[in-house]
């Protein structure tokens, strides 16, 4: 799903030569052979896997409207059986064969770029995946290579939560088939190349315009995934499966942040999502470390025990996770740096057979993503 976001960045390519004509004149077409769209997922706690899509088509029309289409059956994980599982179990390509991106780029977004120059942009995009349409911001850099060629690459990974696109059921099927836990969050990166084929007085032969699907019944703007614990009084302890970055980032700000994330304990005062004074103090210290390492991204994972219904546990975990994330936002940490997910009771550390085990399963996990 993350790939779509990247595609949107292609809009930036509209940056045209510094001439009087509109930068969108003639239209632009995506050059698939020179472009790539990747997404990374994490399983078994520390195994990161990167996959890509082989078939991506797109165009930018003379008004700056961008249509991009990703053929989900073209997913390539590097392993044939895994490709089949991704297509049929996760994406359900038999009913949702494509992902679509629609965005509008304005002349002023790219005005003034000269050949050899680049510009950082934040593009709002509409991503349609698995029957759900959501608005997401893509952080990209556009580079003007010539008066005909523009490249776009993501400057930050795009977080695509499975639950925001109704993909949790497919994810559980994948986990069962692979016999491994998978973090329900994809991280997308991309490099896109667009070309304007026509001169000022001619038109470009662009791909046939895609039929833009009407927004699905569910249209949302995904919030940063936030995690929350199940029990109101239980202290949360990091434990969400994820890449072990301690060795790769043992020095500098990242190394310190990794250690801070591992040692931070977040607790709640009651059955709701009110932080205790100790929890607030811990998050204040974490915020300091995040400020010292401004390029780092953080995942907040919320977990509960199995007491009560799964749906209510999921809601509680998300609410608490959102509270942790919002507190960090209040301290000045930018929203794009935090992914918050409420996992509910899906990933217990121990069997929920004793009070002690259930207390361990009620936790907040903090994981540095880069």
Task: State pLDDT tens for residues 307-344.
Answer: 888 888 888 889 888 989 999 998 888 888 888 888 88
> What is the reported pLDDT for 101?
81
Burial label, 70 (beta-carbon count in 10 A; 0-12, 13-18, 19+): buried
**How many C-beta atoms surround the C-beta of residue 87 within 10 A?**
17
61-74: pLDDT as tens digits: 877 777 889 999 99
Residue count (the chain): 370
Write down the CATH superfamily of domain 235-368.
OmpA-like domain (3.30.1330.60)
Structure tokens at 118: 């680049």
Q: Which is higher by pLDDT, 79 or 242?
A: 79
Strands 219-220 and 132-144: parallel
Q: What is the pTM of this model?
A: 0.51
- The DSSP call for residue 12 is G
> How far apart are alpha carbons 263 and 265 in whole angstroms?
6
> What is the reported pLDDT for 198?
57
> What is the reported pLDDT for 51?
92
CB within 8 Å of 190: residues ≥ 6 apart = 3, 5, 6, 7, 9, 35, 36, 37, 38, 152, 153, 154
Phi-psi region of 174 (alpha: psi -120 to 50; beta: other; left: phi over 0): alpha
Q: How confident is the model at residue 98 (pLDDT cuts 50, 70, 90)?
A: very high
Q: Which residues in the chain are classed under CATH 2.40.128.110?
A: 2-220
Burial label, 123 (beta-carbon count in 10 A; 0-12, 13-18, 19+): buried
Fold of 2-220: Lipocalin (2.40.128)
Note the helical H segments in 38-167: 80-85, 107-110
> What is the reported pLDDT for 171?
92
């Amino acid at each position: 799903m993350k790939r779509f976001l990247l595609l949107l960045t292609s809009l930036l390519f509209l940056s045209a030569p510094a001439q009087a004509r509109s930068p969108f004149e003639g239209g632009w077409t995506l050059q698939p052979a020179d472009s790539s769209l990747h997404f990374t997922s994490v399983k078994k706690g520390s195994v990161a896997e990167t996959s890509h899509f082989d078939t991506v088509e797109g165009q930018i029309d003379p008004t700056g409207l961008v249509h991009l289409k990703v053929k989900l059956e073209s997913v390539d994980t590097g392993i044939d059986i895994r490709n089949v599982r991704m297509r049929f179990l996760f994406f359900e390509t038999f009913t949702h064969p494509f992902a679509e991106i629609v965005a509008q780029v304005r002349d002023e977004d790219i005005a003034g770029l000269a050949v050899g120059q680049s510009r950082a942009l934040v593009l709002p995009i509409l991503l349609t995946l698995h029957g759900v349409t959501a608005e997401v911001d893509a952080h990209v850099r556009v580079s003007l290579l010539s008066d005909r060629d523009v490249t776009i690459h993501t400057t930050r990974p795009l977080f695509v939560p499975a639950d925001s696109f109704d993909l949790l059921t497919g994810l559980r099927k994948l986990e069962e088939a692979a016999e491994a836990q998978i973090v329900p969050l994809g991280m997308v990166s991309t490099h896109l190349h667009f070309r304007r084929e026509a001169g000022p007085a001619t038109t470009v032969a662009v791909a046939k315009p895609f039929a833009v699907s009407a927004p699905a019944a569910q249209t949302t703007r995904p919030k940063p995934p936030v995690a929350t614990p199940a029990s109101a009084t239980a202290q949360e302890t990091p434990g969400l499966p994820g890449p072990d970055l301690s060795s790769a980032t043992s020095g500098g700000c990242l190394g310190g942040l990794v250690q801070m994330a591992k040692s931070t304990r977040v607790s709640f005062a009651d059955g709701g999502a009110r932080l205790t004074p100790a929890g607030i103090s811990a998050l204040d210290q974490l915020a300091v470390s995040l400020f010292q390492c401004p390029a780092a991204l953080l995942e907040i994972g919320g977990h509960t025990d199995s007491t009560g219904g799964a749906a209510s546990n999921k809601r509680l975990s998300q609410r608490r996770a959102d509270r942790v994330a919002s507190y960090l936002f209040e301290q000045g940490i930018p929203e794009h740096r935090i992914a918050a997910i409420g996992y509910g009771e899906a990933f217990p550390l121990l069997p929920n057979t004793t009070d002690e085990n259930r207390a361990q399963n009620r936790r907040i996990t903090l994981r540095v993503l880069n």
